[in-house]
Amino acid sequence: MQYRKFGRLDFNVSALGFGCMRLPIIGGDEGNVDEDLTIKMIRYAIDNGVNYVDTAYGYHRGKSEIVVGKALKDGYRERTMLATKLPVWHVSAREDMDRLLNEQLKKLDTDHIDFYLLHSLHKDTWDKVYNLGVLDWIESIIKRGLIRHIGFSFHDDLDTFKRIVDSYDWDFCQIQYNYLDIEHQAGMAGLKYASNKGLGVVVMEPLRGGKLANPPDRVREVFDSFPIKRSPVAWALLWLWNQPEVSTVLSGMSAFEQVKENIEIADKSGINILTEEELSLIERVREAYLGFKAIDCNECGYCMPCPNGVDIPKNFHLYNEGVRYNDFNGPRWHYRNEMQESERASSCIKCGTCEPQCPQHLPIRELLDKVKAAFENA
Ligand SMILES: NC(=O)c1ccc[n+]([C@@H]2O[C@H](COP(=O)([O-])OP(=O)(O)OC[C@H]3O[C@@H](n4cnc5c(N)ncnc54)[C@H](OP(=O)(O)O)[C@@H]3O)[C@@H](O)[C@H]2O)c1
């Protein structure tokens, strides 16, 4: 295993951290974690040098912390830095913070958390917990020895990220970062900003939740055209470890083979080991992902309003997302749960009012049929 600096702390963290949000489950039930397999996977990772395990109050409907607690028995706790997170959305008074932390310590069966995070901060949740005195509370639990280091995980824009970084003397932060998300949320600018201030930076979603492991054909062709052969997972992870500002990369691993493979990749990782040619391959891969639109809609909205209420740009946007990442599950969820029935493709009555307005001359009615087939017939 390779080890890396963790911000200004006197701690060398393993390049690979174990993310416990996507553990193996039984019967497709998120809350039914395969405990035996999970324990084997986590212990194998620790035996092979992983020294950072990340969980959270809500993962696997509350089961992740319990299984992690079991995995860290038999001497494994002493060899591991344990990270978990305060679910800020369950906090409406200071007593909630104490109650939740106590519950977590019990579930994890430990007397302290090494790395504690305010979970998934964005502008509103940060303002809320700040006003509830969370910083004062943090000082008190550090003094009591219940947590050792404090940080936050983040899902909002760069300005909000910088504001939170500057609000307290944090030890570390956790950001969504991978070769597609360099300008999304905190992004590369946020990574450098936090690192420059001495924070350890923990990367989450390095494979975009697994999507980068299974690229669409047009992306695979770009990888295949390169003389050095590596799996898409290896390229994605090595690209992260190439950057000195990244402290550790959390991988959510749902199978034993993934743990083995990711440890092998981590063993070969290092800062600035990728050549110019290899880095430009990743740029071409990024372009192959992001430059591609199955439907050439630029969401200008000239086709709107639809007399029947269909949100044409939104339908095309979600369809393009599905094709771009070769995965319709996420977009289908948004289609079914966030769009009114009248806004969906199936509400098109083929009146054709929209088509003469489209600067791209798209056959909108025909394309809406495609969207409907992708999201409603599957
Ligand atoms: N604080 C927050 O707000 C927050 C948010 C997200 C994540 N996190 C933390 O960050 C961790 C990492 O994020 P993530 O789980 O999204 O990581 P990720 O690495 O982007 O995605 C994990 C998925 O990638 C696939 N995968 C991993 N290794 C693979 C391999 N060698 N070959 C093929 N597929 C592989 C698996 O997909 P399949 O299961 O489909 O095979 C796995 O479930 C989480 O587990 C969690 O601890 C925190």
**pLDDT on residue 292:** 84
> What interhelical angle do 276-290 and 217-224 show, nearest 10?
160
3-state secondary structure of 247: coil
pLDDT of 325 reads 84
Element (H, E) at 369: helix 364-376
Q: What is the whole-number distance in angstroms between the Cα of residue 168 and the centre of ligand 1? A: 29
φ/ψ of residue 339, rounded to 5: -105, 135
For the chain, the distance separating the N- and C-terminal CA atoms, rounded to the nearest angstrom, is 43
Angle at alpha carbon of residue 255, lines to 252 and 259, rounded to 5°: 65
Binding site membership of 254 for ligand 1 (Cβ less than 6 Å): yes
CA angle 116, 63, 27 (to 5 degrees): 140
Is residue 22 in contact with ligand 1, taking CB distance under 6 Å?
yes
CA of 265 to the centre of ligand 1 (A): 15
- Give me the residue spans of the domains in the chain: 3-285, 312-376
121 lines ligand 1 (CB under 6 A): no
- CA 211 to centroid of ligand 1, rounded, Å: 9
| Protein residue closest via CA to atom 27 of ligand 1 | 253
Give yes or no for a contact between 51 and 18, defined as CB atoms under 8 angstroms apart.
no
C-beta of 252 in contact with ligand 1 (< 6 A): yes
pLDDT of residue 291: 83
Q: How far apart are CA 17 and CA 352, in angstroms?
A: 53
Q: How far is the CA of 296 from the centre of ligand 1 (A)?
A: 31
DSSP code for 165: H
- β-pairing, 3-6 vs 9-14, is antiparallel
Closest by Cα among 315, 296, 300, 295 to 372:
315
Residue 248 CB–ligand 1 contact under 6 Å: no
3-state secondary structure of 160: helix
Q: Indicate whether residue 64 lines ligand 1 (CB < 6 A).
A: no
| CA of 254 relative to ligand 1 center, distance in Å | 8
Report the pLDDT value the prediction gives residue 326, as an integer from 0 to 100: 83
The CATH classification number of 3-285 equals 3.20.20.100
Judge if the beta carbon of residue 114 lies within 6 A of ligand 1. no
State the distance from the centre of ligand 1 to the C-alpha of 344, rounded, in angstroms. Answer: 31
List per-residue pLDDT tens for the chain, 378 residues long. 999 999 999 999 999 999 999 999 999 999 999 999 999 999 999 999 999 999 999 999 999 999 999 999 999 999 999 999 999 999 999 999 999 999 999 999 999 999 999 999 999 999 999 999 999 999 999 999 999 999 999 999 999 999 999 999 999 999 999 999 998 899 999 999 999 999 999 999 999 999 999 999 999 999 999 999 999 999 999 999 999 999 999 999 999 999 999 999 999 999 999 999 999 999 999 999 988 889 999 899 999 999 999 999 999 999 999 998 888 988 999 999 999 999 999 999 999 999 999 999 999 999 999 999 999 976
206 CA distance to ligand 1 centroid (A)? 7
Nearest Cα residue to atom 29 of ligand 1: 258
CA atoms within 13 A on the CB side of 193: 18
Q: What is the pLDDT of residues 192-204, one digit of tens each?
A: 999 999 999 999 9
20 in contact with ligand 1, CB cutoff 6 A: yes
Q: Rounded CA gap, 55 and 66, in Å?
A: 10
The CA 359 to ligand 1 mean position distance, Å, reads 40
| Residue to mutate, 84, 238, 258, 325, ligand 1, most ligand atoms under 8 Å from C-beta | 258
Q: How far apart are CA 20 and CA 38, in angstroms?
A: 9
Ligand 1 near 209 CB (within 6 A): yes
